[in-house]
Each structure stands twice: as C-alpha cells, then as structure tokens.
Structure 1
Amino acid sequence: MFNIKLLQPDLILGDTVLGLTQEVLDQYKIKGLILDVDETLVPLKKSSVSEELIYWINHIKIRTPIWLVSNNLSKNRISYIADTLDLPYLLGAVKPSRRKLRKAISAMNLPVTQVAMVGDRLFTDVLAGNRLGMFTILVNPIITSKSHPIQDLEVWISQKLGVSFTSSEYKFVKKTRKTNH
C-alpha cells in the first residue's frame, strides 16, 4: 500500500525558488540543497539562466552546498545551466528514484536529514526526497505563465488521495523578495 505522506512536502514555499532565503534554511536547520532544474530553476524549453537566479545561487551557496539533480537527459542543456551557476550536477535521475539523490548527499558529506530536496513537482521531487527521509520543499514553477497545469494536476490528484495542503497543517512561507541587488 502506498504511503500518502510521501507526497506531502515539509514546506510549501508559496513562491518560486527565488523566495527561499538563508533565514528559512537556518530555521529548518538545512545545511545542503538539492535543486531540481526544469521549471524549478529554468523554464523547460530554455537554457538561459536569469540574473536573478545567478544572484540567488551565489548568495545561498556561500553557506550552503548546492547540487543540481535533474530527470532531464540533455547533457548539453543541464551542463550549460550547471556551468553557468558554477554548481555540480547529476542528470537522468529518474526521480522518484533515490539513487542520484544519495550520490549528491554523499558528495556533500551531510546527514540526509540536513539536506533539502527543492522542486516544483510532487510526484518526482517531493516523493523522491520523502522516500529518502530528506526535508522537502515544494516551490512554484519558474515558468512565466500564471498556469501550472502539471503541478495543478499533481496537487489535485494528491488531494483526492487524501494529502492536505491547508496552512493549518503545513508551513507556508511567502516572502516578497527585493529585485534590487
């Protein structure tokens, strides 16, 4: 029988990854991050990285090691993004498989409970992180449209299965970020 709690994120950010602050990481005692790439950092059809993302990564990685772990198989695209951000990466992760997450955690030399899996998808990112015992953070996709059909479908299915996304049960963090650097 499937454990429905595996689809429940520990933190629902209520913003894109750019709203995740060092203060939030400190609050939850997070010492390392594994970031999904597609729709979490960069829109699926693009390889260019925004200046805002570069600034955010550079600020966070001062104190927190970061690995990119993507299901994407395009070595050219993922390596370009990782090189631009000056981050190590693993591709073809087949999340919710835990194998490549374990590899990234091992490289960080941190306990699994001090590493957060950050992504925009419940059935891949959150499920993989929860299966491994990581702290999981669900973020809004970084896509430019207001509609998030895949994430919306996953939330709808999860709710039908009994997952609750009410603020009384889960921690939501919504901060307005400054765009001036």
Structure 2
Amino acid sequence: MSWVAHLQPDLVLEGSILSLTPQMLEQYNLKGLVLDVDETLVPMKVQQASDELRLWVDEIRQVAQMWLVSNNLSETRIGGIARSLNLPYLHGASKPSRRKLRQAVAQMNLGVEQVGMVGDRLFTDVLAGNRLGMFTILVDPIVDSGQAVQSYPVRNLEVWLSQILGATLPAKQQNLKQHYKP
C-alpha cells in the first residue's frame, strides 16, 4: 500500500465523533472501535468526558467494543477520561506506530478488519489504522472555542499535505452524515 493510500480514511464524517452511529458500524460490519482521545473525544485540556459523550459511548457499547488509545503520555489524564467512560485504555501510543493498536485489537478478540480506528488526525490516527489494516474514520476535532485557532491549522495542514500527495477527502466511502442523523 502506498503512503497516499495510508493517508486515505475509509470514512470521513462531517462533525464530531458524536456523528458516528450504531447503524454506520453495522453497515461496515464493525464490532470494535479504537478511539483517539485528545480532540477526538474531548478538547485537549479537558480532564473528563462530557455527558453527551457518555451517552454516545453507552449507545455505541450496545453494538461494539471500545478501547481508548492515545499518544498522550499522561496516565492520570487519559486514565481519568477512560474511567469516566468506563472504557479500557492505553496511553503513550506513539501513533502512527501500530504496537498499541494491535494490543487493543487483541484484547477485543476481533479480527483487525472488524475494528475501526477513529480519530481527528490523518498523520497519526488514520495512518496508524491503515498501516494495521483497520477501517479508518476521520472526524472533526472537538476543541475548546479558545483553542480552535491554534488547533485547526495543524489538521488543515495535514489535510492539505495529504491532498498534495494524492489522497482525496471526502474519502473512499460515501460520507454518511447526510443519511444518518445522530
């Protein structure tokens, strides 16, 4: 697989992770999800999950197993978020390394093709998931309004670079937000 293909998400959602529905997971035969944490689930400096995110996790838990896998080195922060969601976690993942993604998938006892990697970054989350053979889902970052000016340029740069390299966004699969409303 070429580097361009490694940067190509299987699904691009317009909106946050809260736009991902059980129906979408069933459509793609996904039985598990590996979830990035920072700016995928919570803004960078937030210490615990929102009520809205807790409700989303409870809904998704009915159809899929979930693990948090974060590059963040703070066990205290990532562990606290994981505990607030009642989910297992790994921190210090060094994505795009696949090592901790493999650990999470192995703990789910599912084939890698049955697990989706969900994140807000192309050069970490999507690249790592594609390198392992996972179904990759790119979501819009969740950021504090005061941080948006600082945070979006990094993602926008990644999108721009990936498009220069030949990746296309929206991705290989049809954007389903228009068909499924959370």
TM-score, with structure 2 as normaliser: 0.92
Query: 1:2: Cα distance to partner?
Result: 5.2
Query: 1:49: Cα distance to partner?
Result: 1.3
Q: Do residues 151 (structure 1) and 151 (structure 2) align?
A: no
* Runs of 4+ deviating beyond 6 Å: none
| Alpha-carbon distance in 1 for matches of 2:181, 2:140 | 14
1:2-151 alignment to 2 at 5 Å?
Answer: 3-145=3-145, 148-151=152-155
| Alpha-carbon distance in 1 for matches of 2:24, 2:49 | 23
- With 124-133 and 148-157 compared, the bigger mean Cα shift is at 148-157
Amino acid at match of 2:10: D
SS of the residue 2:127 aligns to: helix
SS of the residue 2:162 aligns to: helix
SS of the residue 1:34 aligns to: strand
Q: What RMSD, in angstroms, separates the aligned Cα atoms of the two structures?
A: 1.6
SS of the residue 2:58 aligns to: helix
Query: 1:15: Cα distance to partner?
Result: 1.3
Amino acid at match of 1:130: N
Name the CA shift for 1:86/1:166 in 2 (closer, same or farther; >3 Å).
closer
SS of the residue 1:52 aligns to: helix
SS of the residue 2:124 aligns to: helix
% identical aligned pairs: 57
Query: 1:142: Cα distance to partner?
Result: 1.1
Runs of 5+ unmatched residues, structure 1: none
Query: 1:144: Cα distance to partner?
Result: 3.8
Aligned length: 176
Match for residue 174 of structure 2 among 159, 167, 171: 171
TM-score, with structure 1 as normaliser: 0.92
Amino acid at match of 2:168: S
Query: 1:63: Cα distance to partner?
Result: 2.3
| Alpha-carbon distance in 2 for matches of 1:13, 1:52 | 18
| Alpha-carbon distance in 2 for matches of 1:44, 1:132 | 26
Q: Do residues 160 (structure 1) and 164 (structure 2) align?
A: yes
